[in-house]
């Protein structure tokens, strides 16, 4: 039996065995589930395994709930049953610490399917010893998160803290596995990057992602090779500012759909942890790109994109129809949230589970189609017909993601690339883009002249004002009319005249009001705030960006340098606002809905501007049209989505930017 | 209800005659009356919490809610450490017995 077959068998055993095992001598058997046996299941917790239960019950109207807080002896067993609105909710014990071992085991075994390359001495086993040092820090720094999700959690420093000792041994073993499995495979990893959209890699019950640990290992390797440059020193400077500027408090964010790649606390240690992990992750990606560039195969990458995208659709559909798949999808693929239960209504307009957001997965599907187009039409390369067939689920996936922006940007990108391709003469290309630019300006001008600019330009501030609760009875029609009148009269400053309103208003709101109402006016040049307002209306982001303005209340340091990587606590809970949204949406997670704004929160205006200059410079200097187009496509989509907050989208973006300057066009054609 | 009664009787003993069983539920004002003929029992929940019950009816209600006379003093954290320790031992054994080819 070869290694791959052994790995497949091992994966199946690891997945299913814990849910099969139970004590057959305990006289406690699974019974057919109905209203009369609910009590039986409630009084025989941790005795009946999931498979025993399934054998006895073929009821469709049930839902398997994962109970991460159960103890280890309850793993894979029924820990409770409830009947809610004619649907049985069956809780299955899935202890967080055991999840960590099982999920790591499954994902490490999958590395056996990545082809080996020649022996390389780049990776060192000694790097593994840093992994427990870094990742055990999280257990203490995000104590509030882990005390809620793991019954074994203990944060005492003592030799009898077996939980801590177990984690130290586990992370050390994790480092060893990275070394052993990847020392002869890591140069091929880049080709398998698309599978990060299928195997999300978030550990169940943890605020940690598998890829962050693996990439940190590469990041540490990169540092050990003294790959330090001025950007590292700038990041060090930012880190010192973040750590000294932090004002710890009780804010706690359970991660929600961002679990695995977000700071759940606002304290020095959690800040330090995420500063280190973010840095090592980016460093690790750049190291991988640098080292594996000669092994990068765009056709293999495309095939993997297509397979991964199709499998997301297939497993997503299986999960939505069968509770069994829904439960195991969550565990095996490391989803942030449980997958959708049906394909109807709101549930069905996203691949939730496989993707934290509809936007993110829509961008991924658009990315696949654009990549295929670039390879097929521009590079004249052929791929096997079966991969073309797999485009059907991908197009279906894009359609069901309900991401119109992704679809539109895909079509526009294809049209522009096609035109660009057929204008082989450089002079014609310049004239074409000049023409397109002018046409766009004329269209926008016509739109503005035919619209109510007064209304359009103030809509963003209007929306933001609605969420500040400046006047009595916020949310009422009366309140709405008062604010509308202020907007029409351009009388925003008087709103802020009272001390109460001034202190209620976020600093970002005050700055924008000031920019919007000052008397400095350059003829024919639109006001910056007015322009952003018009853009936000065009791309349907007025409400979300309005809420962002109301919530984003940075001090001077935060405005310049940000709150630190993955630190959203201050943004989410620091500024108390009145959310002028329907009641059922009041407890929703309101993210900025723009990766650009996410970046401003994390890295401030200086960090964002420096990053943008870096990216644009790379694009400008790029000799690799393929990844330049793909990066621009992602960049445009990221402007109106929070995709930078999701591990797989973040990695894809960083890889694209890194590849833009790494592969030259000629080399691409040579392949 | 028969299946529940079976489990209740395993934990609390046979149902006394003239003792009707019904579920009290989450009534904070309800007070269980002690039964002098009932030998006190110690029940445990899934997390190892302890409650002493002084009547068959009280016992039955707790058992119905998931409590049991048997507490498994299983130590999850020690098991976790043993498990990862064993995996580490396995790795070291494979590594140093020169059979690390299996990892390729």
Cβ pair B76:A95 closer than 8 A: yes
- B4 → closest Cβ in A43, A72, A101: A43
- Asked whether residue A361 falls in the same domain as residue A399, the answer is yes
Instruction: Spell out which residues of chain A touch residue B99, defining contact as CB-CB under 8 Å.
Output: none
Instruction: Spell out which residues of chain B touch residue A154, defining contact as CB-CB under 8 Å.
Output: 77
End position of a domain, from candidates A413, A440, A467: A440
What phi and psi values does residue A567 have, to the nearest 5 degrees?
Answer: -100, 100
Instruction: Spell out which residues of chain A touch residue B7, defining contact as CB-CB under 8 Å.
Output: 28, 40, 43-44
Q: Residue A479 pLDDT > 90, yes or no?
A: no
Average pLDDT, chain A: 88
Residue A71 belongs to a domain:
yes
End position of a domain, from candidates A94, A128, A156: A94
* pLDDT grade for A559, boundaries at 50, 70 and 90: very high
Angstroms from A180 CA to nearest CA on chain B? 7
Q: What is the pLDDT of residues A604-638, one digit of tens each?
A: 999 999 999 999 999 988 888 889 999 999 999 99
- Cβ burial A643-653 (10 Å sphere, 16+ → b, else e): bbbbbbbbbbb
Which ipTM value was assigned to this complex? 0.88
Give me the pLDDT at residue A45, please. Answer: 84
- B80 → closest Cβ in A3, A97, A172: A97
Mean per-residue pLDDT for A507-532? 82
Q: Which domain holds residue A220?
A: 116-186+208-295
CA–CA separation, A216 vs A133, rounded Å?
A: 12
Which helix (DSSP H) or strand (DSSP E) does residue A84 occupy?
strand A78-84
Give the residue from B4, B64, B14, B7 showing the smallest Cα distance to B37: B14
Most confident of A37-51, A87-101, A377-391, B88-102: A87-101
- Asked whether residue A29 falls in the same domain as residue A75, the answer is yes
Q: What is the pLDDT of residues A199-238, one digit of tens each?
A: 999 999 999 999 999 999 999 999 999 888 999 999 999 9
A115: contact with B, CB 8 A cutoff: no
- A170 → closest Cβ in B1, B7, B84: B84
- Residue-by-residue DSSP string for A455-468: HHHHHHHHHHHHTT
What phi and psi values does residue A77 have, to the nearest 5 degrees?
Answer: -115, 160
Cα separation values, A408 from A225, A243, A359, A404, Å = 44, 42, 13, 6
Residue A78 belongs to a domain:
yes
What phi and psi values does residue B47 have, to the nearest 5 degrees?
Answer: -95, 5
Residue for token pair 């140093």: B96
Q: Residue A671 pLDDT > 60, yes or no?
A: no
Angstroms from A95 CA to nearest CA on chain B? 9
- Residue-by-residue DSSP string for A348-370: GGS-BTTBS-HHHHHHHHHHHHH
> Could you tell me how many CB contacts below 8 A there are between chain A and chain B?
94
- Asked whether residue A142 falls in the same domain as residue A87, the answer is no
Q: How many CA atoms lie within 13 A of A601 on its CB side?
A: 27
CA–CA separation, A371 vs A627, rounded Å?
A: 9
Residue A652 belongs to a domain:
no
Give me the pLDDT at residue A102, please. Answer: 97
Angstroms from B1 CA to nearest CA on chain A? 6
Which residue does chain A place closest to B66, by CA atoms?
A43
Mean per-residue pLDDT for A246-256? 88
Report the percent of chain A where pLDDT is more than 90.
Answer: 54
Q: Residue A473 pLDDT > 80, yes or no?
A: no
- Asked whether residue A143 falls in the same domain as residue A290, the answer is yes
Angstroms from A184 CA to nearest CA on chain B? 8
* Residue A34 DSSP SS3: coil
Contacts of A320 (CB under 8 A, 6+ apart): A326, A339, A340, A341, A342, A343, A347, A348
Q: Residue A27 pLDDT > 90, yes or no?
A: no
- Asked whether residue A50 falls in the same domain as residue A127, the answer is no
State the DSSP code for A571. I
Report the side by side order of strands in the sheet with A62-67: A62-67, A87-93, A78-84
Q: How many CA atoms lie within 13 A of A160 on its CB side?
A: 1
Which residue does chain A place closest to B76, by CA atoms?
A72
If one compares A76 and A422, the residue with the highest pLDDT of the two is: A76
- Asked whether residue A250 falls in the same domain as residue A180, the answer is yes
- Asked whether residue A288 falls in the same domain as residue A427, the answer is no
Report the percent of chain A where pLDDT is more than 70.
Answer: 95
Dig out the tokens for B72 from the structure: 């498994």
Residue A608 belongs to a domain:
no
B78: contact with A, CB 8 A cutoff: yes
Give the residue from A651, A664, A557, A639 showing the smallest Cα distance to A603: A557
- Asked whether residue A272 falls in the same domain as residue A157, the answer is yes
- Asked whether residue A290 falls in the same domain as residue A384, the answer is no
* pLDDT grade for A60, boundaries at 50, 70 and 90: low
Q: Residue A464 pLDDT > 60, yes or no?
A: yes
Domain ranges in chain B?
A: 2-64, 74-104
Q: What is the pLDDT of residues A436-453, one digit of tens each?
A: 888 888 887 777 777 777
Instruction: Spell out which residues of chain B touch residue A116, defining contact as CB-CB under 8 Å.
Output: 104
Give me the pLDDT at residue A345, please. Answer: 47
- A173 → closest Cβ in B63, B64, B84: B84
- B64 → closest Cβ in A43, A170, A176: A43
- Asked whether residue A250 falls in the same domain as residue A363, the answer is no
Count other Cβ atoms within 10 Å, centred on residue A459.
20
A40: contact with B, CB 8 A cutoff: yes
Average pLDDT, chain B: 82
Cβ pair A40:B4 closer than 8 A: yes
Write down the pTM of the prediction: 0.88
Give me the pLDDT at residue A346, please. Answer: 55
Give me the pLDDT at residue A666, please. Answer: 45
Cβ pair A72:B80 closer than 8 A: yes
Give me the pLDDT at residue A605, please. Answer: 96
Q: Residue A668 pLDDT > 50, yes or no?
A: no
- A162 → closest Cβ in B46, B63, B80: B80
Instruction: Spell out the SS3 assignment of A615-656.
Output: HHHHHHHCCCHHHHHHHHHHHHHHCCCCHHHCHHHHHHHHHH
End position of a domain, from candidates A381, A407, A440: A440
Q: Which of A213-227, A657-671, B42-56 shows the lowest per-residue confidence on average (mean pLDDT)?
A: A657-671
* pLDDT grade for B74, boundaries at 50, 70 and 90: confident
- Asked whether residue A143 falls in the same domain as residue A281, the answer is yes
Nearest 5°: the CA angle A201, A207, A213 is: 55
State the DSSP code for A264. -
* pLDDT grade for A184, boundaries at 50, 70 and 90: very high
Residue A604 belongs to a domain:
no
| Candidates B66, B80, B101, partner chain A, best to mutate (most A CBs within 10 A) | B80
- Cβ burial A485-507 (10 Å sphere, 16+ → b, else e): ebbeeeebeebbeeeebeebbbe
Q: Residue A347 pLDDT > 60, yes or no?
A: no
Contact in structure between A643 and A618 (CB atoms under 8 Å) = no
Interface of B with A in 44-73 (CB under 8 A): 46-47, 63-66, 68, 72
- A162 → closest Cβ in B4, B81, B103: B81
Cβ pair B88:A31 closer than 8 A: no
Contact in structure between A482 and A585 (CB atoms under 8 Å) = no
Q: Residue A670 pLDDT > 60, yes or no?
A: no
Q: What is the pLDDT of residues A361-380, one digit of tens each?
A: 999 999 999 999 999 877 78
Q: What is the dihedral of CA A375, A380, A385, A391, to 10 degrees?
A: 30
* pLDDT grade for A426, boundaries at 50, 70 and 90: low
Q: Residue A126 pLDDT > 60, yes or no?
A: yes
Instruction: Spell out which residues of chain A touch residue B86, defining contact as CB-CB under 8 Å.
Output: none
- Asked whether residue A279 falls in the same domain as residue A306, the answer is no
Most confident of A305-319, A519-533, B2-16: A305-319
- B72 → closest Cβ in A37, A73, A97: A73
What phi and psi values does residue A47 have, to the nearest 5 degrees?
Answer: -120, -30
CA–CA separation, A248 vs A255, rounded Å?
A: 18
Contact in structure between A29 and A48 (CB atoms under 8 Å) = yes
Instruction: Spell out the SS3 assignment of B4-71.
Output: HHHHHHHHHCCCCCCCCCCCCCCCCCCCCCCCCCCCCEEEECCCCCEEEECCHHHHHHHHHCCCECCC
Residue A605 belongs to a domain:
no
CA–CA separation, A530 vs A519, rounded Å?
A: 14
Instruction: Spell out which residues of chain B touch residue A31, defining contact as CB-CB under 8 Å.
Output: 3
Angstroms from B63 CA to nearest CA on chain A? 6
Interface of A with B in 46-75 (CB under 8 A): 46, 70-74
Mean per-residue pLDDT for A308-317? 93
The number of distinct structural domains making up chain A is 3
| Candidates A161, A166, A182, partner chain B, best to mutate (most B CBs within 10 A) | A166
Instruction: Spell out the SS3 assignment of A97-143.
Output: HHHHHHHHHHHHHHHHHCCCCCCCCCCCHHHHHHHHHHHHHHHHHCH
Cα separation values, B12 from A26, A399, B58, B60, B61, Å = 17, 59, 9, 7, 10
Mean per-residue pLDDT for A493-509? 85
């Amino acid at each position: 039996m070869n290694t791959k077959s052994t790995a497949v068998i091992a994966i199946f055993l690891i997945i299913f065995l814990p849910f099969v095992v139970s004590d057959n001598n305990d006289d406690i058997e699974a019974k057919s589930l109905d209203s009369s046996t609910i009590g039986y299941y409630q009084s025989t917790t941790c005795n009946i395994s999931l498979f025993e239960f399934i054998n006895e019950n073929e009821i469709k109207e049930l839902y398997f709930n994962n109970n991460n807080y159960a103890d280890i002896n309850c793993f894979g067993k029924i820990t409770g049953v409830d009947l809610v609105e004619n649907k049985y909710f069956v809780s299955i014990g899935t202890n967080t610490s055991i999840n960590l071992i099982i999920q790591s085991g499954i994902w490490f075994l999958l590395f056996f399917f990545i082809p080996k390359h020649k022996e390389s001495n780049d990776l060192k086993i000694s790097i593994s010893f840093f992994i427990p040092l870094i990742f055990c820090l999280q257990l203490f720094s995000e104590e509030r998160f882990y005390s809620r999700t793991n019954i074994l959690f203990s944060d005492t420093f003592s030799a009898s803290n077996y939980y801590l000792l177990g984690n130290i041994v586990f992370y050390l073993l994790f480092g060893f596995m990275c070394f052993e499995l990847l020392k002869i495979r890591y140069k091929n990893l880049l080709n398998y990057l698309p599978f990060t959209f299928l195997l999300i890699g978030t550990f169940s019950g943890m605020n940690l992602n598998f890829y962050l640990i693996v990439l940190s290992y590469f990041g540490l390797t990169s540092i050990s090779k003294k790959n330090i440059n001025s950007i590292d020193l700038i990041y060090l400077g930012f880190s010192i500012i973040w750590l000294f500027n932090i004002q710890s408090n009780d804010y706690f964010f359970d991660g929600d759909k961002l679990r695995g790649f977000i700071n759940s606390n606002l304290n020095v240690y959690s800040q330090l942890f995420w500063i280190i992990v973010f840095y090592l992750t980016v460093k690790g990606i750049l190291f991988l790109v640098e080292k594996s560039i000669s092994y990068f195969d765009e056709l293999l990458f495309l095939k993997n994109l297509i397979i991964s995208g199709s499998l997301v659709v297939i497993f997503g559909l299986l999960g939505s129809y069968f509770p069994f798949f829904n439960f195991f999808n969550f565990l095996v693929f490391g989803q942030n949230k449980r997958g959708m239960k049906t394909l109807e209504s709101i549930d069905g307009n996203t691949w939730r589970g496989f993707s934290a957001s509809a936007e993110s997965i829509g961008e991924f599907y658009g990315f696949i189609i654009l990549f295929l187009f670039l390879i097929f039409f521009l590079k004249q390369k052929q791929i096997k017909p079966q991969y073309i067939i797999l485009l059907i689920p991908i197009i279906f996936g894009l359609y069901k993601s309900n991401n119109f922006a992704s679809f539109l940007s895909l079509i526009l990108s294809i049209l522009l690339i096609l035109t660009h391709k057929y204008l082989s003469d450089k002079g014609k290309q310049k004239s074409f883009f000049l023409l397109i630019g002018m046409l766009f300006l004329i269209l926008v001008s016509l739109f503005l002249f035919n619209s109510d600019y007064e209304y359009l330009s103030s809509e963003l501030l209007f929306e933001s004002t609605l969420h500040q609760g400046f006047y009595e009875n916020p949310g009422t029609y009366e309140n709405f009319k008062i604010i509308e009148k202020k907007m029409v009269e351009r009388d925003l400053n008087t709103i802020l005249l009272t001390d109460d309103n001034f202190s209620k208003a976020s600093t970002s709101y005050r700055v924008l009001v000031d920019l919007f109402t000052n008397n400095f006016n350059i003829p024919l040049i639109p006001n910056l705030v007015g322009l952003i307002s018009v853009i936000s209306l065009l791309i349907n982001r007025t409400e979300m960006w309005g809420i962002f303005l109301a919530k984003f209340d940075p001090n001077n340091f935060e405005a310049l340098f940000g709150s630190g990587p993955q630190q959203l606590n201050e943004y989410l809970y620091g500024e108390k606002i009145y959310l002028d949204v329907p009641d059922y949406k009041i407890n929703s997670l309101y993210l900025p809905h723009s990766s650009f704004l996410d970046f401003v929160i994390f890295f401030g205006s200086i960090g964002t501007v420096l990053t943008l200059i870096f990216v644009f410079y790379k694009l400008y200097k790029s000799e690799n049209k393929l990844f330049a187009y793909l990066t621009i496509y992602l960049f445009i989509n990221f402007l109106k989505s929070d995709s930078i907050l999701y591990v797989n989208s973040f990695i894809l973006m960083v890889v694209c930017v890194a590849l833009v300057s790494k592969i030259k066009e000629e080399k691409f054609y040579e392949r | 209800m028969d299946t529940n009664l079976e489990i209740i009787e395993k934990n609390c003993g046979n149902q006394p005659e003239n003792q009707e069983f019904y579920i009290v539920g989450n009534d904070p004002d309800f007070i269980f009356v002690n039964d002098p003929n009932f030998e006190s029992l110690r029940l445990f929940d899934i997390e190892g919490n302890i409650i002493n019950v002084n009547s068959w009816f009280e016992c039955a209600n707790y058992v119905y809610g998931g409590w049991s006379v048997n507490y498994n003093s299983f130590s999850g954290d020690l098991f976790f450490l043993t498990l990862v320790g064993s995996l580490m031992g396995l790795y070291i054994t494979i590594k140093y017995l020169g059979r690390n080819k299996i990892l390729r």
